[in-house]
Structure 1
Amino acid sequence: MHDIRALRDNPAAFDAALLRRGTEGVSAQILSLDEARRGAIHAAETAQAEQNAASKDVGRAKASGDEAEFARLRALVGDKKAEVAAMQTRAKELDDELTALLMAIPNLPFDDTPEGADEADNVEMRRWGTPRALDFAPKEHYEIPAVIPGMDFETAAKLSGARFVVLSGAVARVHRALAQFMLDTHVEENGLAETWTPVLVRDEMMLGTGQLPKFGEDSYRTTNGWWLVPTAEVTLTNIVNGLTVEESYLPRRYVAHTQCFRSEAGSAGRDTAGMLRQHQFEKVEMVSVTHPDQSRAEHERMTDCAEGILRRLNLPHRTVVLCTGDMGFGASRTHDIEVWLPGQNTYREISSVSVCGDFQARRMNARFKPTAGGKPEFVHTLNGSGLAVGRCLIAVLENGQQADGSVDLPEALHPWLRGKTRITAQGELV
């Protein structure tokens, strides 16, 4: 959510930043509503003061024995009470309207976030690794003979419908090993605190990280009002919801491995083959809560943590800065990491690492007390995949495929597979 005081001070800058995201100037509408809200609050407070003064006069009239004056003043207090209640109701309505409007406006991009309309305007930062030269036509993950026995879409469709998968045998084992490898690396080498959180959350938590109110259709809601998390960003970030912590508490760096659930609204017809885009999937999610002065450096650190997993797995990848038109609702700057998939002959997203500034903190009312004293300030929040487990599985399978239909597994993963190194063309882990 945005700082209304900053908007009042410089509406032109606010509109210019939003225009870079394709949103026409809204400051005039916000400021008009804000003025009406403040006017209503002032009127209610004035009427309340008049009611309080009249109440004192009632007491004095009663004490003096002036029954006529007492009756008149008591009637006046009654009228004022009704007037104050109506004014307070109107002020609350305007305040809710203003909050809803601010909640629906995306975060402002940083000045160094590239401007653009869509993914074609994203800017490549760097590449790591060289795609392996193959002397055979590479297959997509679900076509590789070693994978076919352990990746069942027909049974999943019977159980749940489209965009689900049943993994078994060697493929399920590698999938689990990847999640454990990511968690252990982030905890033991990157200094993140392993965390286990619920996957069912309340409305307020989805509001806090920006999934609500605008993007409710992208997630699943239970019949009794819980939301299934689209990512552990929701739970990890909301750990500080409503808190005012000491500055020494920062930074807080969390990592969690969870199931994630997305309706994939608006993605009909995209990536329908295989398990690239699923309704239910697993992610190892990183979240950092930092001092405002540290958030940009933390963004680079988190990006390196995610890239490091791919380097350890020897998976070629590239990192791009998302342009303003391709960036998520709550981000000021986002680094997408795209892994090479030989079956598709292209790079595909496997992680998005975003810095949100105080955008989520304002929605959550998450602050810290400066050590040097002064008023509490809003923390900064960041989030990123470290990594999407299913997409990493796809990359491992496609990059490790051999001409005979088997799959060689990355050396870094061998300890998590008890020394197993490959999946045979028949689907056995050996």
Structure 2
Amino acid sequence: MHDIKSIRDNPQAFDAGLKRRGLAPLSASLLAIDEKRRAAILASEQAQARRNAASKEIGEAKKAKDDARANKLMAEVAELKTTMPELELAAKTADEELAKELAAIPNLPLDDVPEGTDEHGNVQRHVYGKTRNYAFKPKPHDDLGGALGYMDFEAAAKLSGARFVVLKKGLARLERAIGQFMLDLHTGEHGYTEVNPPLLVRNDVMFGTGQLPKFEDDQFWAIKGELLAAPDERLKTERLGLIPTAEVSLTNLVRESIVDEKELPMRLTALTPCFRAEAGAAGRDTRGMIRQHQFTKVELVSIATPETSRDEHERMLSCAEEVLRRLDLHYRVMTLCSGDMGFSAQKTYDIEVWMPGQSSSQGDGGAYREISSCSVCGDFQARRMDARSRGPDGKPRFVHTLNGSGTAVGRALIAVIETYQQEDGSIAVPAVLQPYMGGLKTIERDK
């Protein structure tokens, strides 16, 4: 959420940031609403002050036995009682209008974010490893999983529809192993605290991290209700959202609170199922497990001070990268351009892992696929959540929030399956995962 005072102080900088996002200037319309809001608030406050003063003057007039003046003042107070609710409503309406407009505006990019309108403007930061050479043509993960008999999309479709999968035996265990390996790495070596958060959250929690109101249709919603015994027996409902990422639950743990800055940076991690409607993904990545309605992900969240958030962003990226380095997977890191960042981000690094069995825009032969996205959000989410910290001077200020995939377990599974595939269709288990697999070194079809 943007600070209207900051926009008021420097509207040109605000509009310049929006332009980098590919958006039209908005400062003039926002400031017009703000002016109307401030005028309405002032009128309401002045009416309240006049009512209080007039009430005091009535007592003085009666004490002086000035009935004419007392009657005139009482008439004025009566009129104010009539007009004040209207003035209060006008102030409330203008305040809500401004809040609604501000809530729909994305965060502004930092100065060092590259210019661009879409993914073609993203800039490669660095590359780790290199593509492997195979003595055979690598297959996509869904062909490999289907041939093993351990990846079943048809069974999932009978249960839930498209974009779901049933994993069995060795592949089910491999997915679990990958998630547990990531958690152990982040908690044991990277200093993150493991959290097991709720998967269902309230509207204001979704609003806090920026899923609402803009991405209403991208969420799955659960409705709980009870039948009332009221005359019309209407159904009273309360909506809860299934989290699209554990970022939502973890970041909101500091909502509506003031934390001591001695506790920062606060580093949190969770391994959870995630749920996305993929409302805007029609026709994209329809094969296999690349884009699912339900998937598993390890999330990293940091709550930091404004002075340390940029360094924390670099640290978070290195923590996510270490997962892929330990798995010996080839990847590249991209700095997203101003037009390709997420709604709440100031700056984002995407880690794209190489998947040899995927098809790129140039055809078969492998492709990079996003497996992690690490973002620094500044105080954008903190303002929406009212999350603040108190420093040595005792004054509260908004914290900075960061989030990153550490990483997407399902896509890591795909990368492992495709990278470690053998010519006979079996999957070699990376050395770092073998302890989580009971020492199993190869996943093969049952004889």
TM-score class, shorter-chain normalisation, is over 0.9
Question: Post-superposition, which runs of at least 4 consecutive aligned residues in structure 1 deviate over 6 A?
Answer: none
Task: Kindly indicate whether residue 265 of structure 2 is the aligned counterpart of residue 254 of structure 1.
Answer: no
Structure 2: gaps of 5 or more residues: 224-237, 359-365
**Is the partner of 2:297 in helix, strand or coil?**
strand
Aligned residues of 2:299 and 2:404 also touching (Cα < 8 A): yes
Amino acid at match of 1:129: G
Structure 1 stretches lacking a partner, 5+ long: none
1:375 CA displacement? 2.7
Change (3 A) 1:145 1:46: closer
Please report how far the alpha carbon of residue 65 of structure 1 lies from its aligned counterpart in structure 2 after TM superposition: 4.9
The residue number in structure 2 matching 1:368 is: 389
**What corresponds to 1:4 in structure 2?**
4
- SS of residue paired to 2:22: coil
Q: CA deviation at 1:74?
A: 2.4
Alignment of 1:180-329 (within 5 A): 180-223=180-223, 224-329=238-343
Answer yes or no: is the 8 Å Cα contact 1:170–1:427 preserved in 2. Answer: no
Quick one: distance in 1 between partners of 2:328 and 2:154? Answer: 32
- Secondary structure of 2:384's partner? helix
* Structure 2 counterpart of 1:351: 372
Question: Which of the residues 419, 422, 425 maps onto 2:442?
Answer: 422
The DSSP-based 3-state class of the residue aligned with 2:307 is helix
CA distance in 1 between counterparts of 2:97 and 2:148 reads: 53
Deviation of 1:44 (Å): 0.9
CA distance in 2, matches of 1:140, 1:3: 48
Counterpart of 1:29 in structure 2 is: 29
**Paired residue type of 1:329:** F
Task: Give 3-state SS (helix, strand or coil) of 2:47's partner.
Answer: helix
Q: State how many pairs are aligned.
A: 426
Deviations 1:75-128 (A, max 9, x none): 321211222221111111111111111111110100110111111111001111
Residues 105 and 427 of structure 1: CA distance in aligned 2, closer, same or farther (over 3 Å) = farther
TM-score of the superposed pair, with normalisation by structure 1: 0.97
1:397 aligns with 2:417: yes
Shift of 1:147: 5.7
State, as a whole percentage, how many aligned pairs show the same letter.
56
CA distance 1:337–1:79, change in 2 (3 Å): same
**Equivalent residue letter for 1:114:** P
- Residues 255-313 of structure 1 deviation map (CA, whole Å, 9 limit, x = unaligned): 00111110001101111111110001111000000011111110010000010000000
* Alpha-carbon separation, structure 2, partners of 1:201 and 1:340: 34
Q: Which residue of 2 aligns with 1:129?
A: 129
Q: Give the alignment's TM-score, normalised by structure 2.
A: 0.93
SS of the residue corresponding to residue 185 of structure 1 reads helix
Contact 1:218–1:264 (8 Å) recurs in 2: yes
Cα distance in 2, alignment partners of residues 83 and 90 from structure 1? 11
CA-atom RMSD in angstroms: 1.3
SS at match of 2:277: coil
| Residues in 2 aligned to 1:51 and 1:7: alpha-carbon distance in whole angstroms | 34
Q: Quick one: which amino acid aligns to residue 387 of structure 1?
A: T
How many Å apart are 1:72 and its aligned residue? 3.6
* 1:52 aligned residue: 52
Provide the rounded CA distance (Å) in 2 between the counterparts of 1:82 and 1:193.
56
Q: Distance in 2 between matches of 1:361 and 1:43?
A: 31
Shift of 1:145: 5.8
Residues in 2 aligned to 1:145 and 1:164: alpha-carbon distance in whole angstroms: 14
C-alpha distance 427-320 of structure 1, shift in aligned 2 (>3 A): farther
SS in 2 for 1:293: coil
Q: CA offsets, 1:368-427, max 9 Å, x none?
A: 1121x1531111000000011110100010001011111111101011111111111x15
- Deviation of residue 60 (structure 1)? 3.0
Structure 1 residues 427, 83: closer, same or farther in 2, change over 3 A? farther
How far apart in 2 are the matches of 1:104 and 1:30?
12
Residues 42 and 145 (structure 1), Cα distance of their counterparts in 2 relative to 1, 3 Å cut: closer
SS of the residue 1:225 aligns to: strand
- Contact 2:376-2:403 at 8 Å conserved across structures: yes
